[in-house]
Structure 1
Amino acid sequence: MHNRNAIIRVAPLWVLLTILSVFGGVRAQAQSASVRGFVTTESTRPLQSASVLLVQDNNVVAGVSTDGDGAFLLARILPGSYELRVSFLGFVTYSESFALVAGESRLVRVTMFEAPAESLEDVVVVADAETGVGSVRAGLQTITAADVSSVPVPGVSGDLASYLQSVPGVVAQGDRGGQVFVRGGAIDQNLATLDGFPIYYPFHILSFYSAFPEEVVDNADFYTAGFGASYGTRVSSVLDVSMRNGNKQRLAGSASLSPFISGVHVEGPLVKDRVSMILAVRESLVKTITPELLGQKFPYSFGDRFGKLHATLGSNHSVSLTGLYTYDRGDLAGTRLSFDGNPISEVAADTSEVSWSNALFGGHYIY
């Protein structure tokens, strides 16, 4: 009986403390402010991993790095006067001063300009030696969109397939393959993923191109060894590709025209600062143009279509939908000629023709 009365007397105290903590948290949140925004280059491309600092009286109050959209969020900031500093290697540091009031959510759009070459100072990199087997990331190479564009291809824009062929230990089948060999492994022991979804034939038939054009690739992790069990049972290599989100601030796009492959891409906001889309379409013209230019048939046709929808639902919530379709068709035996040496445009039963395609649709919810 004594214990029961004790519980009855203590219970209202816990209820009171719970109510006070809830309303106290709401009041504290109402008295604080936040700063969010986007960091882009002069060409309106999102600048990922830029350093964003909020400074007050020469003291850093909060700091964060921009994400793949160039977005950042500094939450739970006390009212007062602050200086916002944004920096990235090779760009002029951005600075802006402002005052925050209670409950304010300030939106800042930052455009970064490349620094002149003569203004860049010497860079000294210092790091402590890491020891232990667990610290070694053997066989991993991280590839950015800038790396992809640095390798020339038979076309206008870059492609991840051409960059991979410049990596030691990677050998392509040639101009009639569609797959690569990594360190002597079989082609069926390579795994390729797009935003976490597997793609079984990611390379096009000419091997210079893949389902990952420069315009839509954010970054890629290429493992030739040391990848974990989360990637399944493949033993040769893993290509883990992350695709870009569309520009959430303004409409942008590009187009390219070449005999091997032509394409167009467009991106922009559906709801400004919240929802974006990016679309890319590429088509090979080699089968159509080469008979007129070279007088010889090249029986290859391939193309791909990519689309991604990304929405920011809050400071810690986002959702994305990704779609991809690729197709390849070609005569691996080469050009079929008649008795007098002229190319045969159509053969009724051509058993040497091969074809494959990929169709992918999926989504992610991050919280």
Structure 2
Amino acid sequence: MSTNRLILVFFFFCIGFVATGQKARIRGIVLSSNNQPIDNVNVVCLGNSAQSNANGFFDLAVPANQQVIVIFTHVSLKKTTVSILLKPNEDYEMNLVMNEYQEQMGEVIIISKNKKRIQGIITIEPEVIRKMPGANAGIENILKTLPGVNSNNELSTQYAVRGGNYDENLVYVNEIEVYRPFLIRSGQQEGLSFTNTNLVQNVDFSAGGFQAKFGDKLSSVLDISYRKPTKFGATLEASLLGGSLSVDAVSKNKKWSAITGVRYRNNSLLVKSQDTQTNFTPSFADIQTNINYQASSKWQWSFLGNISQNKYQYQPLSRQTNFGTLDKPMALLIYYEGQEKDKYDTYFGAVKSTFKVNNNFTLKFIGSVFHTLEQEYFDIFAQYRLGEVDANIGSETYGNVDFTRGIGTQLNHARNDLDALIVNTEVKGIYDWKENQLEWGVKYTRESIRDRVVEWEVIDSAGFSINPPIVILPKKDQPNSSYTGPLVPYQNVRATNFNTINRFSGYAQWSRKEHIGSSEVWYNAGVRLHNWEVLGDDIAGKSQMTISPRAQFAIKPNWEKDMVFRLSGGLYHQPPFYRELRDAGGVVQPNVKAQQSIHFVLSNDYSFKMWNRPFKLVSELYYKSLADVNTYTIDNVRIRYAATNNARAYAQGLDVRLNGEFVPGTESWLSFGYLKTEENSADRGFIARPTDQRLKFGLLFQDFMPKIPSVKLYLNLVYNTGLPGGSPSYADPYLYQNRLKDYRRADVGFSKVLINESTNINRKWLKSLKELEIGLEIFNLFDNQNAITNTWVRDVYSKIQYAIPNYMTTRVFNVKLNAKL
């Protein structure tokens, strides 16, 4: 452990002694038998009282060092009584389950959050997700403020975790794995994340060392649960970037419930702030529903469906990017012809059935279908000038290009089509036996891919065609002498692939909680198996199988300080998905192996009081040793794999997160991450991987005006050091490596609650509103220029290539309106 880290931990240990007294606190969420939050629950203990809010959350101070009775009552539910004994200053977090049929009494009738705590899972409140501003607001926007999670593209919902890439993250909604479109190459083409934040009840995130029950990816797990409505309600959101509407519905007999959301988004406001002037008409829309049916007290059914359509129409007109130095300012001017028309249609449906055999045994069946139809068509002709800018103040041509150093043209063409159908069937079981829990599952997946790639690029400079540098050609002296060699595109990719991939996977794991002396300990051990085979026209891949053992151990000493120590790790495999099988030439390589990674994660979770409010400091040291690595390059958000396994790599780092009530009643956090990840390809030596983001700082902060609590502030701030990137696509990373500039971004939001449940409303048409809120958002508050890639332009006089940064969005203002029924 480093000296700096010891000092940091010691500092927060000392702070924990500031708050002393004979009080403790109970805080948590009240849930229905359908696991839904319940509002307006009265919580009483020895004269102290509290009431749960719309999210079911309550917070109550209770006497310490004595057995006390806490009573929960609700107008439509039976009373629940809990007897509990807490230590001084202890914060006890619980989820209480209430029902309509019988009163409950007992020592503890709770589901403790300790289970997630000892698993190393971060839980994010849905209300925080909905309120936080961001150019692409939502769950992924919040994830990027966490330690170990990196992204330098505010238009993208994709993220990298602890040295992995965008394809190494698992995403589940209601235990159902969800997928992204395949062909998207730019963040501004993404539009909407799959997850509709207005439907979300619970968000859990693990950045590594996760259990065997989660699937076969190398980096992280995002586990999302949608809520089950308990009564009718509706939420409306509108802004300059689009809008959404969600509706909760419940049948009279309470057996049926459904929540449906419709969203529309238009990124014109953001994209038009970039250097390139365009006619940009995007259209991103989706409809999503989650339907639940309680067939009996033991049997539940649910359906999750999603239809989305992303239309991206892009017609660039002109661009001017200034760069260089004060002494030698330069500019790139480009005039465009042509357009790009992309379309991504996705259809997703899943059925889940849960059968409770008895109090100790539960079975689950899950079946899902994902179908995506994607097309990427463009013909864009660009004429560019590279020149020196007149920097003489007072000159009639000040700010204009007065000397041209290079001219040229470029033509990009693509006719890419993809049709993918992915079908999953899965059976899971959970069995509780005394202090043990056994979980198992088996899954079959069939992936059918029909893919056509036609993509080429031609570059012309000073009147002659430039051949790709990777092609060895005879010497030439153009334009003074004629050139007799072949004229070939600078880049040319053509392939047609019809492939089927059959996968069988399964897992089994065991968990146990017990005591060693006065300390609580938890064990978890499991193993995953995965078998797959790639088939297609004129190819037949060999059958491959991986075995991935994983384990976790956690201990909570019986100390005055509330601390949990956790050690987790194992062997993780990532069998190749279709994109990992396709090489740089577009050809599928059926025998690509699974990448594998050995994880070691050592963490400390310390809960304490500061300013008489709860805080938590979580620190994690991690190391990953990777083998059979499939190297890749990243251009914006498009990943191109080598489709070989000729590299090894490692990732190591430290993540620290301090969260708590910096402002009473609100959750905020500070995060810090250090990462170093390198790869060794074909034994040429270790160099930085494309996701080698050395330092990361994140801040998520909430505040309100003390005298006007209905006025609130939300701040989302991220600083990342520069990623390796921006090099020419053909460059050998061992001969040429370039790093982009540091990524700095701050988004701030202000909101004013006009109506809530305590507001006296005279007009009848407003009485149905539970909440009405208006807000102002400022994206990129400090107007930082962040680059995602570089455009490389050649100077025909000096033969120098210039890296002209492709900047992301500048400062943008947005207005929002939120209403709840």
Q: Given residue 197 of structure 1, which amino acid in structure 2 is its aligned partner?
A: I
Q: 169, 184, 189: which is aligned to 2:148?
A: 169
Q: 336, 340, 350: which is aligned to 2:316?
A: 336
Q: 144, 151, 155: which is aligned to 2:132?
A: 151
Could you tell me which residue of structure 2 aligns to residue 125 of structure 1? Answer: 91
Could you tell me which residue of structure 1 aligns to residue 347 of structure 2? Answer: 359
Give unpaired runs (5+ residues) of structure 1. 1-47, 52-64, 72-85, 97-107, 113-121, 128-133
> Greater CA radius of gyration, 1 or 2?
2
Classify 1:183/1:300 alpha carbon distance in 2 versus 1 (closer, same or farther; 3 Å). farther
Q: Given residue 198 of structure 1, which amino acid in structure 2 is its aligned partner?
A: E
Could you tell me which residue of structure 2 aligns to residue 15 of structure 1? Answer: none
**What SS does the aligned partner of 1:254 have?**
strand
C-alpha separation in 1, matches of 2:119 and 2:233: 38
The answer on 1:275 being equivalent to 2:256 is: yes
C-alpha separation in 2, matches of 1:181 and 1:301: 26
How much has 1:223 moved relative to structure 2?
1.4
C-alpha separation in 2, matches of 1:259 and 1:280: 19
Q: Given residue 240 of structure 2, which amino acid in structure 1 is its aligned partner?
A: P
Classify 1:191/1:271 alpha carbon distance in 2 versus 1 (closer, same or farther; 3 Å). same
Alignment of 1:87-236 (within 5 A): 89-90=58-59, 94-95=72-73, 109-110=76-77, 124-125=90-91, 137=118, 139-154=120-135, 159-201=138-180, 205-206=187-188, 210-236=193-219
C-alpha separation in 1, matches of 2:233 and 2:92: 39
How much has 1:280 moved relative to structure 2?
0.2
Classify 1:49/1:136 alpha carbon distance in 2 versus 1 (closer, same or farther; 3 Å). closer
Q: Given residue 256 of structure 1, which amino acid in structure 2 is its aligned partner?
A: E
C-alpha separation in 2, matches of 1:205 and 1:297: 18
Question: Alpha-carbon deviations, 1:318-357, whole Å to 9, x = none?
Answer: 11111023343447xx86115999998x935x3xx65545
Classify 1:95/1:288 alpha carbon distance in 2 versus 1 (closer, same or farther; 3 Å). closer
**What SS does the aligned partner of 1:362 have?**
strand
Alignment of 1:304-315 (within 5 A): 304-315=286-297
C-alpha separation in 2, matches of 1:237 and 1:208: 23
Deviates more, 1:190-199 or 1:138-147: 138-147
Classify 1:154/1:123 alpha carbon distance in 2 versus 1 (closer, same or farther; 3 Å). farther
Classify 1:139/1:259 alpha carbon distance in 2 versus 1 (closer, same or farther; 3 Å). same
Could you tell me which residue of structure 1 aligns to residue 283 of structure 2? Answer: 301
- Contact 1:259–1:289 (Cα < 8 Å) also in 2: no
Q: Given residue 187 of structure 1, which amino acid in structure 2 is its aligned partner?
A: Y
Deviates more, 1:206-215 or 1:142-151: 206-215
Could you tell me which residue of structure 2 aligns to residue 256 of structure 1? Answer: 237
Q: Given residue 146 of structure 1, which amino acid in structure 2 is its aligned partner?
A: E
Classify 1:180/1:289 alpha carbon distance in 2 versus 1 (closer, same or farther; 3 Å). closer
- Contact 2:135–2:154 (Cα < 8 Å) also in 1: no
TM-score, normalising length from structure 2? 0.27
Could you tell me which residue of structure 2 aligns to residue 244 of structure 1? Answer: 227
- Contact 1:309–1:321 (Cα < 8 Å) also in 2: yes
Classify 1:126/1:230 alpha carbon distance in 2 versus 1 (closer, same or farther; 3 Å). closer
C-alpha separation in 2, matches of 1:90 and 1:219: 19
C-alpha separation in 1, matches of 2:284 and 2:78: 38
Question: Alpha-carbon deviations, 1:140-195, whole Å to 9, x = none?
Answer: 2122313323522358xx62121111111212251444421111201111111111
Could you tell me which residue of structure 1 aligns to residue 247 of structure 2? Answer: 266
Q: Given residue 206 of structure 2, which amino acid in structure 1 is its aligned partner?
A: Y
C-alpha separation in 2, matches of 1:302 and 1:256: 16
Could you tell me which residue of structure 2 aligns to residue 68 of structure 1? Answer: 35
Q: Which has the higher helix share?
A: 1
- Contact 2:140–2:158 (Cα < 8 Å) also in 1: no
How much has 1:309 moved relative to structure 2?
0.8
- Contact 2:200–2:226 (Cα < 8 Å) also in 1: yes
Could you tell me which residue of structure 2 aligns to residue 14 of structure 1? Answer: none
C-alpha separation in 1, matches of 2:139 and 2:72: 32
How much has 1:306 moved relative to structure 2?
0.9
Q: Given residue 124 of structure 1, which amino acid in structure 2 is its aligned partner?
A: E
C-alpha separation in 2, matches of 1:302 and 1:159: 15
Question: Alpha-carbon deviations, 1:105-131, whole Å to 9, x = none?
Answer: xxx62599xxxxxxxxx963379xxxx
How much has 1:94 moved relative to structure 2?
4.7
C-alpha separation in 2, matches of 1:269 and 1:196: 23
**What SS does the aligned partner of 2:213 have?**
helix
- Contact 2:245–2:261 (Cα < 8 Å) also in 1: yes
Could you tell me which residue of structure 2 aligns to residue 325 of structure 1? Answer: 307
How much has 1:67 moved relative to structure 2?
4.0
Q: Given residue 299 of structure 2, which amino acid in structure 1 is its aligned partner?
A: H
C-alpha separation in 2, matches of 1:262 and 1:342: 34
- Contact 2:293–2:301 (Cα < 8 Å) also in 1: yes
**What SS does the aligned partner of 2:234 have?**
strand
Classify 1:126/1:318 alpha carbon distance in 2 versus 1 (closer, same or farther; 3 Å). closer
How much identity, in percent, do the aligned residues show?
22
Classify 1:143/1:173 alpha carbon distance in 2 versus 1 (closer, same or farther; 3 Å). same
- Contact 2:29–2:58 (Cα < 8 Å) also in 1: no
C-alpha separation in 2, matches of 1:210 and 1:183: 21
Q: Which has the higher strand share?
A: 2
Aligned residues: 256
- Contact 1:317–1:365 (Cα < 8 Å) also in 2: yes
Q: 285, 295, 299: which is aligned to 2:266?
A: 285
C-alpha separation in 2, matches of 1:339 and 1:126: 58
Query: After TM superposition, where is structure 1 displaced by more than 6 Å over at least 4 residues in a row?
Result: 288-291, 339-344
Give unpaired runs (5+ residues) of structure 2. 1-27, 39-50, 61-69, 80-87, 94-114, 321-332, 356-821
Q: Given residue 223 of structure 2, which amino acid in structure 1 is its aligned partner?
A: D
Alignment of 1:50-89 (within 5 A): 50=30, 66-70=33-37, 89=58
C-alpha separation in 2, matches of 1:283 and 1:304: 7
State the superposition RMSD in angstroms.
Answer: 4.3
Classify 1:356/1:176 alpha carbon distance in 2 versus 1 (closer, same or farther; 3 Å). farther
Could you tell me which residue of structure 1 aligns to residue 730 of structure 2? Answer: none
C-alpha separation in 2, matches of 1:225 and 1:259: 37
